[in-house]
């Protein structure tokens, strides 16, 4: 068989086999939809009239009303864009009123959102083993705010914002209706026919959509090998609208990774009513081919920008109680936010005083920003997950070193290297000479022999911190446990408030025990009582 025929056969198998495997998947039939709003509202009115005046709705009534609301939503979107849904409008002979609200209040105004879709059961269940859902009145929906050049909202995720809500309808008079989108991150009950009743809700679907691996996958390996392409996208992103009453918990991913790894942790927070009322989840996105101190400087700058934008007077209790959660190399970036550099970081790279470095002004500014810094006073706690505080021998393996040579330094780093090697080579720390490009690749920064790691360890951590260490297999030479990438002795640091171990590989952020430990620490940080069970995942909203 020719190579072309083999390639064609492999292509057909790759395309057809997944399709064949889906034939046995059962999907719910879509609800009845209407082309005109008039017919959809008339159908919904008939179901609404059959609802009892008080008490919980029977399951069959919940299903009927939900299907009717789904049809109404579909018809409304066919009629006009959600961004126009405000005030009272005359539509198909009906007086339709949209309840006003805010993105962080008990009711969310539909105006301004690009799309509103019914929450899908498959999306949440595929993403999370324990989706955060509840039965009740109304139609769970996802309200979508897209990121576009026309929107200049700072810290809006590149893939937009996805908020949970539940749609209800209240009829007054023969052809009058009020449509309300209830913020189910904030409320669990709402009036239906004048009586407060539990709302149906799906908090996992928006998290699964916002933290989609399919979307973020382009940032992982390409961000490692071609970091220059993604430096403009580096920064803090807020999947939820900023709430001054909630403490920011900032998630920082590691090398050759991206923010999707935090979806399970965010889902666990959404599943704890007390935590979701006290915390807002942010994440830091960055190309992991950057140097550790360069990426840490970007994180430091982004956190300061967020604080200056939302808390210019520096008086917010929540903002000044921030917590960082870092995995792998992301833990080193987080650690560098809660230490002072002194002159140690400079000495890790140079052997002469700064005044004697024959560098250009721009290069001096770069050296100053990345190697001389103060801790962020508004960060009050850090969680380290499988962090190589003492490095990892894995980056020294010959096959991997050959691959890592393909990492392209950024334009800024190449300019710096050119200047340093041409006029200031005598001033470079001799320990860096063993590394290609003087150890300016992130993978080289993770070597146990790189002076940067020893420098990070030498500076005291100025806030409470916690260790979460994964153990997967024993090291064959030293007999020490390891997660397959980072040995226990490298992940462990003394002085932690707590140290917990989980049986997992290095990529452990989706592990239920890791998520449980994160939520335990968040409860401790917010001074909430500890949960009674070892593993707490709230399925139904309380």
Q: Is the pLDDT of residue 13 over 60?
A: no
Give the length of the chain: 542
* Structural domain total, the chain: 2
If asked whether residues 288 and 227 sit together in one domain, one would say: yes
If asked whether residues 288 and 382 sit together in one domain, one would say: yes
Domain membership of residue 473 (yes or no) is yes
Q: Which residue has the higher pLDDT, 95 or 12?
A: 95
**Structure tokens that stand for 320 in this block:** 């000044």
Residue 125 pLDDT level (bands cut at 50, 70, 90):
very low
Nearest to 412 by CA among 516, 256, 289: 289
Q: Which helix (H) or strand (E) holds 90?
A: strand 87-91
Domain membership of residue 236 (yes or no) is yes
Domain membership of residue 369 (yes or no) is yes
If asked whether residues 377 and 511 sit together in one domain, one would say: yes
Domain membership of residue 531 (yes or no) is no
- Backbone Cα Rg of the chain: 27
Q: What is the pTM of this model?
A: 0.89
Helix residue ranges per DSSP H, 119-203: 121-127
Distance of CA 406 to the CA centre of its chain: 28
pLDDT at 68: 96
**Structure tokens that stand for 249 in this block:** 């918990």
Output the average pLDDT for the chain. Answer: 88
State how far the Cα of 153 lies from the Cα of 533, in Å rounded to an integer: 40
Beta bridge partners of 144: 115, 162
If asked whether residues 263 and 358 sit together in one domain, one would say: yes
pLDDT at 379: 98
Q: Is the pLDDT of residue 29 over 60?
A: no
The number of beta carbons lying within 10 Å of the beta carbon of residue 457 is: 15
If asked whether residues 322 and 434 sit together in one domain, one would say: yes
If asked whether residues 226 and 125 sit together in one domain, one would say: no
pLDDT at 34: 63
**Structure tokens that stand for 79 in this block:** 């009629």
If asked whether residues 199 and 229 sit together in one domain, one would say: no
pLDDT at 532: 63
If asked whether residues 131 and 256 sit together in one domain, one would say: no
Q: Is the pLDDT of residue 534 over 70?
A: no
Q: What's the pLDDT tens digit per position in 243-295?
A: 999 999 999 999 999 999 999 999 999 999 999 999 999 999 999 999 999 99
Q: Is the pLDDT of residue 109 over 90?
A: yes
If asked whether residues 413 and 368 sit together in one domain, one would say: yes
Domain membership of residue 540 (yes or no) is no
CATH number of the domain to which 291 belongs = 3.40.50.1820
Average pLDDT rounded to a whole number, residues 293-315: 97
Which residue segment(s) compose the domain that 307 sits in?
A: 219-525
pLDDT at 416: 80
**Structural domain ending residue among the three candidates 182, 207, 232:** 207
Residue 11 pLDDT level (bands cut at 50, 70, 90):
very low
Check if the beta carbon of residue 76 is closer than 8 Å to that of residue 85. yes
Residue 359 pLDDT level (bands cut at 50, 70, 90):
confident
**Structural domain ending residue among the three candidates 175, 207, 239:** 207
pLDDT at 415: 83
If asked whether residues 167 and 285 sit together in one domain, one would say: no
If asked whether residues 162 and 251 sit together in one domain, one would say: no
Q: Is the pLDDT of residue 105 over 70?
A: yes
Check if the beta carbon of residue 373 is closer than 8 Å to that of residue 300. yes
Distance of CA 268 to the CA centre of its chain: 12
If asked whether residues 477 and 500 sit together in one domain, one would say: yes
Domain membership of residue 530 (yes or no) is no
Residue 315 pLDDT level (bands cut at 50, 70, 90):
very high
Residues 6+ apart with CB under 8 A from 453: 332, 388, 389, 390, 391, 445, 446, 447
pLDDT at 173: 87
Domain membership of residue 310 (yes or no) is yes
pLDDT at 180: 98
The number of beta carbons lying within 10 Å of the beta carbon of residue 27 is: 9
Distance of CA 253 to the CA centre of its chain: 9
Q: Is the pLDDT of residue 38 over 50?
A: yes
State how far the Cα of 108 lies from the Cα of 187, in Å rounded to an integer: 11
Domain membership of residue 534 (yes or no) is no
pLDDT at 5: 45
What are the percentages of helix, strand and coil residues in the chain, rounded to 5?
A: 40, 20, 40
pLDDT at 206: 95
Helix residue ranges per DSSP H, 22-151: 37-50, 59-79, 121-127
Q: Which residue has the higher pLDDT, 216 or 364?
A: 216
pLDDT at 402: 79
Helix residue ranges per DSSP H, 119-271: 121-127, 204-210, 213-225, 263-270
Q: What's the pLDDT tens digit per position in 510-523?
A: 999 999 999 999 99
**Structure tokens that stand for 17 in this block:** 């086999």
pLDDT at 480: 75
Q: Is the pLDDT of residue 32 over 70?
A: no
**Structural domain ending residue among the three candidates 158, 183, 207:** 207
């Amino acid at each position: 068989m020719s190579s072309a025929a083999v390639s064609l056969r492999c292509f057909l198998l790759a395309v057809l086999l997944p399709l064949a495997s889906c034939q046995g998947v059962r999907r719910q039939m879509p609800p009845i939809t209407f082309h005109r709003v008039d017919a959809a509202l008339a159908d919904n009115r008939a179901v609404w009239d059959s609802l009892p005046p008080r008490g919980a709705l029977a399951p069959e009534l919940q299903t009927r009303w939900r299907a009717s609301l789904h049809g109404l939503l579909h018809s409304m979107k066919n009629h006009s864009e959600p961004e126009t849904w405000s005030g009272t409008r005359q539509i198909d002979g009906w007086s339709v009123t949209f309840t006003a609200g805010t993105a962080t209040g008990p009711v969310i105004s539909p105006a301004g959102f690009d799309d509103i879709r019914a929450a899908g059961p498959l999306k949440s269940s595929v993403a999370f083993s324990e989706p955060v859902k509840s039965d009740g009145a109304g139609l769970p929906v996802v309200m979508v705010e897209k990121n576009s050049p026309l929107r200049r909202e700072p810290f809006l995720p590149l893939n937009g914002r996805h908020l949970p809500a539940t749609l209800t309808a209240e009829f007054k008079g023969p052809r009058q209706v009020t449509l309300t989108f209830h913020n189910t991150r904030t409320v669990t009950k709402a009036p239906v026919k004048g009586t407060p009743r539990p709302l149906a809700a799906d908090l996992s679907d928006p998290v699964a959509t916002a933290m989609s691996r399919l979307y973020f996958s382009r940032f992982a390996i390409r961000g490692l090998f071609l970091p220059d392409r993604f430096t403009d996208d580096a920064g803090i992103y807020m999947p939820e609208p900023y709430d001054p009453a909630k403490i920011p918990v900032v998630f920082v991913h590691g090398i050759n990774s991206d923010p999707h790894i935090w979806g399970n942790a965010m889902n666990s927070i959404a599943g704890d009513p007390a935590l979701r009322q006290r915390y807002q989840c942010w994440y830091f996105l960055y190309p992991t081919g950057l140097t550790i101190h360069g990426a840490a400087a970007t994180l430091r700058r982004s956190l300061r920008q967020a604080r200056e934008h939302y808390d210019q007077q520096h008086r917010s209790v929540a903002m000044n109680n921030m917590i960082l959660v870092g995995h792998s190399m992301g833990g080193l970036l987080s650690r560098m936010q809660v230490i002072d550099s002194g002159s140690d970081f400079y000495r890790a790279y140079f052997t002469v005083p700064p005044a004697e470095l024959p560098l250009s002004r721009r290069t001096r500014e770069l050296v100053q920003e990345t190697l001389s810094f103060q801790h962020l006073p508004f960060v009050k706690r850090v969680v380290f997950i499988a962090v190589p505080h003492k490095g990892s021998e894995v980056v020294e393996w010959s096959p991997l070193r050959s691959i890592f040579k393909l990492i392209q330094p950024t334009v800024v780093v190449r300019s710096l290297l050119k200047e340093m090697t041409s006029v200031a080579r005598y001033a470079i720390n001799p320990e860096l000479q063993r590394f290609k490009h003087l150890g300016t690749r992130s993978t080289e920064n993770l070597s146990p022999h790189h002076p940067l790691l020893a420098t990070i360890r030498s500076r005291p951590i100025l806030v409470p911190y916690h260790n979460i260490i994964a153990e997967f297999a024993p090291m064959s030479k030293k007999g020490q446990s390891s997660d397959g990438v980072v040995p226990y002795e490298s992940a462990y640091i003394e002085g932690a408030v707590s140290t917990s171990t989980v049986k997992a590989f290095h990529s452990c952020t989706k592990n239920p025990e890791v998520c449980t430990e994160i939520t335990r620490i968040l409860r401790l940080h917010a001074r909430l009582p500890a949960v009674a069970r070892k593993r707490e995942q709230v399925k139904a909203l309380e």
